[in-house]
Structure 1
Amino acid sequence: MSFPKIDVQAPWLTTEQMVEVDRAMIGVPPSLYSGGGLGFEVGPVFATGDIVRLD
């Protein structure tokens, strides 16, 4: 599993903005999913843009 980094400190951000930053900080290389016995492929998540909203 991947978890957001907890060391982000940005007192100028609102709580709502910080949640978005935390989500943005999650990163896992596609090779982790396809290798290591997990056995599934991750498609081109960022094919349509740099930001993927999870509404």
Structure 2
Amino acid sequence: MTPAEFARRMEVAPSTVYRWINNERNMTYEHTVLASRILNCHAEDFYEVTFISKRKRR
């Protein structure tokens, strides 16, 4: 699927999709859910988890 087709199915401007692709803008949760339905995947697949270690107490 092209970004233009994805934009059409998401009902957003193609420039919005390119901003998502280039990490210039974050998707709303609603857009994430819709995208997961269009792409047949889980909404969680769009998120990256970063673990931060706790500082040691003295």
**Same fold by TM-score greater than 0.5:** no
Name the structure where helix makes up a greater proportion of residues: 2
State the TM-score, normalizing by the size of structure 1.
0.30
Quick check: which has more Rg, 1 or 2?
2
Of the two structures, which has the highest relative contact order with CA contacts closer than 8 Å and spacing of 6 or more?
1
